[in-house]
């Protein structure tokens, strides 16, 4: 997952929290926090598990932006290591190595006792972001040494996202040793290229599973934010945010091909001038602001836990109706739109990212191209966006072409459904009741978008099942000194152990 986007999103929500008081009004805004869940104790071989995770981070399964720079040996070795580390998993589950065109993703199938039940899927990714050489001296431990020091397991990928892969595998190995078998079929998918959008791994496996005729997943879980105190500003408590919907991704190329020529005799309009004007018109034609239903659900859960003075405002957003816009919702949108990060949560964004034309100072280029990246809200399909762009530009000389492996905005997982409840219950069984659990709207996104954008997997819940002590530890995500506490890793394993069991009762 893209941490920067996420943390800045969250920090900007502080803005909403400390905004001016709304018009007073009596509101019924009851807390939706699940009550009375008893904690469970699960005994984990944490010494062995730590050793295995420490070895796992030594495989440099890096996703570089240059996709030709791909270390196939690192992935092959990592797969062999996983196989030898979890023998029961590999004799009980079916493993396939998939991906298109390069097959380095893992798909495990654990057949349920009742394979007619809708299956569940756990997703995590093998790849990690590179370590920039100029940041190496800031690491207290070598990022690929798998050091276990001061109660932490250190290394690139240990937090994002190998602790989830190994948490899942440790839990499955324990369960099999106890003779347990799931009721519903469980899939584990470990992608190879999440950090570059998942075109070869997750997207392909979503296609494969869809092709196998799975009608509907009962539950899909993927990474997002870990549990962290104060992750939601205005709420100092420990908080578990569960992503329930993700924005889409579309990149369009705008191009003009007309006469070039010698710069000594220029025409009235140059290709560069025409395209530049088109880009300006497009930036002036922003998409309208909307409150996504996932954002309403986010405030339904968080609102009652936040500052009382602002609850009427949160309540208006939480219970607002589609197609209507009250004054308080307008006020909320005004607050959100004042900042570029929160603004991204309330509309389809337009970002001009590339502009190319010309090769020499005295030659008029015969062509000019620009690339515009959009992050769509639901309903803004590539067709809708292309239509919007053409209308905004109003110039037939410019062609518009979708050049991305585009994904639409995803469906929204049911924030009141059995999957969400099973997840919240499990979180409380492992981490206790002294924390807030709430759904949220993800503007960045992770590989599960490839599943959640399809009809067969609307109920995707995204959360990284590990506790961090503070927001400071969160900086290790894509940053330096990525590490997790050994004791917390034991809870991650317990979490997966418990949720596998709880999914039997969906």
Q: Which listed residue (161, 193, 194, 473) is catalytic?
A: 194
Of 1 and 398, which CB lies nearer to Zn ion in the complex structure? 1
Query: Min. distance of Cβ 220 from Zn ion in angstroms?
Result: 15
Contacting Zn ion within 204-233 (CB under 5 A): none
Segment near Zn ion (CB under 5 A); pick from 28-36, 152-160, 205-213, 292-300: 152-160
Q: Is 68 a catalytic residue?
A: no
Residues 157-176 that bind Zn ion (CB under 5 A): 160-161
Among positive and negative, which fits the CA dihedral 112, 115, 118, 124?
positive
Number of residues engaging Zn ion in binding (CB under 5 A):
3
In the bound state with Zn ion, the residue whose beta carbon lies nearer, of 279 and 453, is 453
**Residue 16 CB, nearest distance to Zn ion (Å)?**
26
Task: Confirm or reject binding of residue 1 to Zn ion (CB under 5 A).
Answer: yes
Beta bridge partners of 355: 370
> Alpha-carbon torsion 320, 325, 329, 333, what sign?
positive
How do beta strands 186-191 and 148-149 pair? unpaired
Q: Does residue 329 touch Zn ion according to CB under 5 A?
A: no
Task: Give, as ranges, the residues between 29 and 48 that touch Zn ion (CB under 5 A).
Answer: none
Stretch that binds Zn ion, among 7-15, 98-106, 156-164, 489-497 (CB under 5 A): 156-164
Nearer to Zn ion, 197 or 382 (CB): 197
Of 155-163, 179-187, 232-240, 314-322, which segment contacts Zn ion by CB under 5 A?
Answer: 155-163
Catalytic residue status for 194: yes
User: Which whole-number Å values give the CA distances from 128 to 163, 182, 191, 226, 468, in the listed order?
Assistant: 12, 30, 11, 17, 19
Question: Quick check: 129 binds Zn ion (CB under 5 A)?
Answer: no
Closest CA to 467 of 442, 495, 447: 495
Strand pairing class (436-442; 250-257): unpaired
Cα separation, 307 vs 29, in Å, equals 12
Residues between 417 and 456 with contacts to Zn ion, criterion CB under 5 A: none
Question: Cα separation of 368 and 254, whole Å?
Answer: 8
Minimum distance of Zn ion from residue 450's CB (angstroms):
14
In DSSP terms, 373 is beta-bridged to: 251, 351
**Cα atoms found within 13 Å of the Cα of residue 267, Cβ hemisphere only:** 14
Question: Which of the residues 127, 170, 223, 329 is marked catalytic?
Answer: 127
Q: Which two tokens stand for residue 138?
A: 């800031």
Find the shortest distance in angstroms from Cβ 491 to Zn ion: 19
- Name which of 196 and 386 has its Cβ closer to Zn ion: 196
CA angle, 396 then 400 then 404, to 5°: 180
User: What value does the CA radius of gyration of the chain take, rounded to a whole number of Å?
Assistant: 24
- In DSSP terms, 229 is beta-bridged to 238
Nearer to Zn ion, 160 or 488 (CB): 160
Helix (H) or strand (E) holding 266: none
If the CB atoms of residues 161 and 424 are measured against Zn ion, the closer one turns out to be 161
Catalytic positions, please? 127, 194
Judged by the rule CB under 5 A, the positions of this chain that interact with Zn ion are 1, 160-161
């Amino acid at each position: 997952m893209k941490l920067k986007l996420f943390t800045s999103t969250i920090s900007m929500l502080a803005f909403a929290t400390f905004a001016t008081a709304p018009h007073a009004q009596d509101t019924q805004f009851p807390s939706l926090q699940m009550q009375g869940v008893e904690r469970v104790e699960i005994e984990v071989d944490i010494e062995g598990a730590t050793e295995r995770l420490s070895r796992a981070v030594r495989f440099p399964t890096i996703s570089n932006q240059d996709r030709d720079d791909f270390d196939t040996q690192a992935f092959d070795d990592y797969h062999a290591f996983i196989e030898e580390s979890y023998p029961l998993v590999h004799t009980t589950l079916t493993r396939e190595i998939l991906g298109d065109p390069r097959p380095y993703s893992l798909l495990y199938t654990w057949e349920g006792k009742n394979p007619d039940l809708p299956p569940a899927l756990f997703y995590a990714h093998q790849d990690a972001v590179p370590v920039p050489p100029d940041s190496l001296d800031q690491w207290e431990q070598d990022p690929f040494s798998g050091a276990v020091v001061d109660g932490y397991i250190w290394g690139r990928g240990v937090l994002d996202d190998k602790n989830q892969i190994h948490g899942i595998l440790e839990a499955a190995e324990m369960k099999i040793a106890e003779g347990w078998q799931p009721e519903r079929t469980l899939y584990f998918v470990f992608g190879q290229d999440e950090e570059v959008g998942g075109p070869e791994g997750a997207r392909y496996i979503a296609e494969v599973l869809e092709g196998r005729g799975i009608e509907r997943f009962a539950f899909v879980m993927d990474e997002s934010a870990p549990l962290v105190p104060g992750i939601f500003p205005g709420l100092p408590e420990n908080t578990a945010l569960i992503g329930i919907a993700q924005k889409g991704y579309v990149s369009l190329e705008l191009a003009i091909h007309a006469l070039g020529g010698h710069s000594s005799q220029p025409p009235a309009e140059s290709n560069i001038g025409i395209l530049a004007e088109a880009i300006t018109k497009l930036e002036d034609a922003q998409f309208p602001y909307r409150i996504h239903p996932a954002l309403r659900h986010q405030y339904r859960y968080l609102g009652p836990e936040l500052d009382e003075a602002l609850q009427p405002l949160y309540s208006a957003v939480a219970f607002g109706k589609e197609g209507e816009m009250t004054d308080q919702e307008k006020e909320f949108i005004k607050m959100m739109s004042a900042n570029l990060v929160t603004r991204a949560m309330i509309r389809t964004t337009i970002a001009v990212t590339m502009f190319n034309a010309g090769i020499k100072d005295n030659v008029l280029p015969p062509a000019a191209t620009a690339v515009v990246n959009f992050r769509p809200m639901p309903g803004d399909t590539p067709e809708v966006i292309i239509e919007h762009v053409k209308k905004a530009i109003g110039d037939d000389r410019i062609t518009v072409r979708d050049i991305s492996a585009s994904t639409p905005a995803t469906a929204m997982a049911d924030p009141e459904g059995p999957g969400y409840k099973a997840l919240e219950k499990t979180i409380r069984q492992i981490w206790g009741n002294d924390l807030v659990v709430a759904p949220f709207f993800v503007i960045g996104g992770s590989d599960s978008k490839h599943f959640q954008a399809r009809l067969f997997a609307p109920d995707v819940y995204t959360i990284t099942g590990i506790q961090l002590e503070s927001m400071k530890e969160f900086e290790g995500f894509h940053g330096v000194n990525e590490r997790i506490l050994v004791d917390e890793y034991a809870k991650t394993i317990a979490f997966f152990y418990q949720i596998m069991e709880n999914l039997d009762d969906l």
